[in-house]
Amino acid sequence: MKDHKDDSMEPSSPGRRRFLGATAAVGIVSAAGATGAGMLVRSGETAAASAGGASHSVKPGELDEYYGFWSGGHSGEVRIFGIPSMRELLRIPVFNFDSATGWGITNESKRVLGDNGGFLNGDTHHPKVSYTDARYDGRWCFINDKANTRVGRIRLDIMRTDKIVTIPNVQSIHGLTLQRVPKTERVFAAGEMIIPTPNDGRDLDDPSKYWTLMSCLDAETMEIKWQVIVDGNMDNCDTDYAGKYVGATCYNSSRGVTLQEMMGPERDWAVIFNVARIEEAVAAGDYFTIGDSEIPVVDGRGAEQNGSKYTVYIPIPRNPHGFNTSPPDGKYFVVSGKLSPTCTVVEWAKVDDWFDGKLDDPRETVVAEPEVGLGPLHTTFDNRGNAYTSLFLDSQVVKWNIADAIRSYNGSDVNYIRDRIDVHYQIGHLKASLACSRDVDGKYLSALSKFSKDRFLSVGPMHPENDQLIDISGDRMTLVHDGPTYAEPHDALMVRADQLNPMKVYKRDDPFFAETVEMAKADGITLERDNKVIRDGNKVRVYMTSVAPNFGMTEFRVKQGDEVTIVVTNLDTIEDVSHGFALVNHGINFEIHPQQTSSVTFVADKPGVHWYYCSWFCHALHMEMSGRMLVEA
């Protein structure tokens, strides 16, 4: 890599350097494991800009303006930040095991984890909050699991995961996006890795028979409605603002299985799916199925002929990555070149023209292809017609004007680059406040930098990442915060604080623990009152209440080998008075927040006295909130 010092820092230069595609390809591959000298150089511009940070601080006791939803990467969770303070407010376990809340331990969480409760890892990339008329409606946050091919859904009233589904016929869900209008009824999940279909041992050595599929889920039921088989692979995806299309990038149009093969072609593509035509085909029975799966699969292949009835393949330079639709009206989408220094701007209305048969060449949907810098990955937007693209290799965010990029593409000699700012370092995703919705406000931008290098105290070989906050409200971008994060948020989005309305105390009829309440009812138990042990053969159900600083039962007796279910109902009604139930030497701990019922099932295999205690600090006598399980040999 070249040293940054050699490059012009003029924000108005169209690109910091021009180069051949091959050079970029070598650059990005070496940077993947790299410590290029150029990455360490900081410009004077950034140091000066950082000085302006104080005005964006949120004072103790003050509330933030936005909720930030951060994917937790291979931690498998989702995190909530306050923006602009960048304070971490909550971690929501999704695909991971969580010691604090008992996610993966309690019966309620195991029901959500389902058959996949055996997997304790996940890799979350793209959190998406549900919409009504392309505005955040506070119902759900959806999240993909790249590691185990799942999609999870978080209820935003209680901030807990309530559904997880495994997507069949594909491997690795990477891109995840939602229908915006009239509201989120469909969730789209892009399969990334190509595999034989069905993947039952056939065609192991014949990658020409490997495929992947786009899946559409019903947002309400989380059932998979249909899938579309495509050429190439799929990476990131997004929808339009009319409820008609979903599109995904493809970085492996050659369907290669090695890095060299995947980097081969000069152009890959973005594939666009015509949702209405796919659903008509499914309704008409014009589909097939794969292996044991009953999901209708529609054939969207045919890249050589530019697509099928259901799809169009728009050629895009070299291994494109991000796919982002421009707010507030969703007129364009921007695809980043990754190994090409360009972004490609496509007008959604021209995709209509394509499907209406008015165009001869899918490239006619392209209205601009600005040169933005090295390693463009993702693009976000303000409310003033500007786009902001992350440049992995340049470690920069570049701000460019969409209308001027279109003018330039049409031959005008106009400079579309508005500003550049260094980020620290090797940025992946970036997202401006409300930029995926009609309410885009052009105030803040989160820059998720993959390397932090020298920005923080050393904590050993694993460095934190650096999620930076940039003020984009003025003509020039200003860096206002460095936010170290633990492995490894990929993407983030901001929702205005007034757009969410989480509960402060559970309702007793919450569906999250309804099944446990049903079980109690069948045992003749009123959870809000009873402290009782029910024996049913060698199955023992222990029902107890908790009110700070007491468990309703300070001892219970079982026999060695009994299968014991402990159900705890927190009768405290005051917000914040959470209890926990930890059973010593049994690997059991879980949350019970005010008015919540939680339960756990285990085998009492060790005779003797086993203490349980409250693990959530709730009262001056919290230490004394305990009891004994007596196990008879």
Which residues contact ligand RUQ (rule: CB under 6 A)?
Answer: 125-126, 174, 236, 321, 377-378, 428-429, 490-491
Residue from 616, 627, 629, 631 in contact with ligand CUA (CB under 6 A) = 616
CA gap 521, 50 in Å, rounded: 60
Nearer to ligand CUA, 426 or 598 (CB): 598
Beta bridge partners of 186: 218
Partner in contact with 420, chosen from ligand CUA, ligand RUQ, none, beta carbon below 5 to 8 Å by kind = none
Q: How far is the CB of 380 from ligand RUQ (least distance, A)?
A: 12
Token pair of 348 as six digits: 């959604």
**Helix H or strand E encompassing 49:** helix 44-50
Burial of 178 (0-12, 13-18, 19+ CB in 10 A): buried
> Residue 242 and residue 202: Cα distance in Å, rounded?
41
Query: Quick one: which of 516, 493, 614, 488 has its CA closest to 112?
Result: 516
Contacts with ligand CUA: how many residues (CB under 6 A)?
Answer: 9
Euclidean distance between CA atoms 155 and 480, whole angstroms = 31
Of 344 and 401, which CB lies nearer to ligand RUQ in the complex structure? 344
Question: Does residue 602 touch ligand CUA according to CB under 6 A?
Answer: no
Which is nearest to 454 in space by CA: 476, 489, 425?
425
Place of tokens 């964006």: 56
Residues 146 and 125: beta-carbon distance below 8 Å? yes
Please, which of residues 65-124 interact with ligand CUA by CB under 6 A?
none
Residues 514-573 touching ligand CUA, rule: CB under 6 A, are: 548-549
- Contact yes or no for 3/41 (Cβ under 8 A): yes
Q: Which residue number has the CB closest to ligand RUQ?
A: 428
Gap between the Cα atoms of 270 and 250, Å rounded: 6
DSSP type of residue 277? H
Residue 346 or 548 having the CB closest to ligand CUA: 548
Query: What minimum distance in Å lies between the beta carbon of 253 and ligand RUQ?
Result: 18
Q: How far is the CB of 110 from ligand CUA (least distance, A)?
A: 23
Nearer to ligand CUA, 164 or 548 (CB): 548
Give which of ligand RUQ, ligand CUA, none residue 174 binds (C-beta under 5 to 8 Å, depending on kind). Answer: ligand RUQ
For tokens 């180069």, what's the residue?
Answer: 19
CB nearer to ligand CUA: give 463 or 622: 622
Q: Which does 617 bind (CB under 5 to 8 A by kind): ligand CUA, ligand RUQ, none?
A: ligand CUA
User: Which residue type is seen at 193?
Assistant: M
622, 626, 628, 630: residue in contact with ligand CUA (rule CB under 6 A): 622
Q: What single-letter DSSP state applies at residue 281?
A: H
Q: Which of 98, 491 has the CB closer to ligand RUQ?
A: 491
Token look-up 């973005």 returns: 270
Strand order in the sheet with 478-485: 427-432, 444-449, 465-471, 478-485
Q: Which stretch binds ligand CUA (CB under 6 A): 62-70, 491-499, 513-521, 614-622?
A: 614-622
Q: Which is nearer to ligand CUA, 189 or 625 (CB)?
A: 625
Please, what's the b/e burial string for 455-468 (b: 16 or more CB within 10 A of its CB; e: otherwise)? beeeeeeebbbbbb
Coil/strand/helix, residue 121: coil
User: What gap in Å lies between CA 133 and CA 150, rounded to an integer?
Assistant: 26
Taking the complex as a whole, the smallest distance from the CB of residue 590 to ligand CUA amounts, in Å, to: 12
Minimum gap (Å) between residue 238 Cβ and ligand RUQ: 11
Closest approach, Cβ 562 to ligand RUQ, in A, equals 46
| Min CB(236)–ligand RUQ separation in Å | 6
Paired tokens of 205: 């050595």
Contacts (CB under 6 A) with ligand CUA, residues 579-598: 579
Residue burial 46-62, b: 16+ Cβ < 10 Å; e: rest: beebeeebeebeeeeee
508 binds ligand CUA (CB under 6 A): no
Closest to ligand CUA by CB, 571 vs 618, is 618
Which option in ligand CUA, ligand RUQ, none does residue 321 bind, with CB closer than 5 to 8 A by kind?
A: ligand RUQ
Alpha-carbon distance values, 396 to 45, 46, 373, 448 (Å): 12, 11, 9, 11
Residue 616, contacted partner among ligand RUQ, ligand CUA, none, CB below 5-8 A by kind: ligand CUA
CB of 321 to ligand RUQ, least distance (A): 6
Contacted by 486, from ligand RUQ, ligand CUA, none: CB < 5 to 8 Å by type? none
163 is an interface residue for ligand CUA by CB under 6 A: no
Closest distance to ligand RUQ from the beta carbon of 436 (Å): 13
Q: Which stretch binds ligand CUA (CB under 6 A): 78-86, 123-131, 516-524, 611-619?
A: 611-619
Out of ligand RUQ, ligand CUA, none, which partner does residue 95 contact, by CB within 5 to 8 A per kind? none
Residue 143, beta-bridge partner list: 152
Residue (434 or 571) nearer to ligand CUA, CB? 571
Asked if 617 is part of the footprint of ligand CUA (rule: CB under 6 A), the reply reads: yes
250 interacts with ligand CUA by CB under 6 A: no
125 binds, among ligand CUA, ligand RUQ, none (CB under 5 to 8 A by kind): ligand RUQ
* Cβ atoms 110, 104 nearer than 8 A: yes
**Considering the complex, what minimum distance in angstroms separates the CB of residue 427 from ligand RUQ?**
8
- In the block, tokens 């990476």 appear at 235
Interacting partner of 579 out of ligand CUA, ligand RUQ, none (Cβ under 5 to 8 A depending on kind): ligand CUA
Nearer to ligand CUA, 601 or 626 (CB): 626
| Minimal distance, residue 176 CB to ligand CUA, in Å | 38
Consecutive H or E run containing 391: strand 386-391
DSSP label of 64 = P
Nearest CA among 327, 328, 329, 411 for reference residue 369: 411
Closest CB to ligand CUA among residues 297, 614: 614
The interface with ligand CUA within residues 443-502 (CB under 6 A) comprises none
The one of ligand RUQ, ligand CUA, none whose footprint includes residue 548, by CB under 5 to 8 A per kind, is: ligand CUA
Residue 284 corresponds to which amino acid? A
- C-beta closer to ligand RUQ: residue 174 or 424: 174
**Shortest distance, position 618 Cβ to ligand CUA, whole Å:** 3
Question: What end-to-end distance do the CA atoms of the chain give, in Å?
Answer: 69
Residues 36, 39, 42, CA angle at the centre, nearest 5°?
150
Q: Give yes or no for a contact between 434 and 494, defined as CB atoms under 8 angstroms apart.
A: yes
Task: Give the binding site for ligand CUA (CB under 6 A).
Answer: 548-549, 579, 614, 616-618, 622, 625
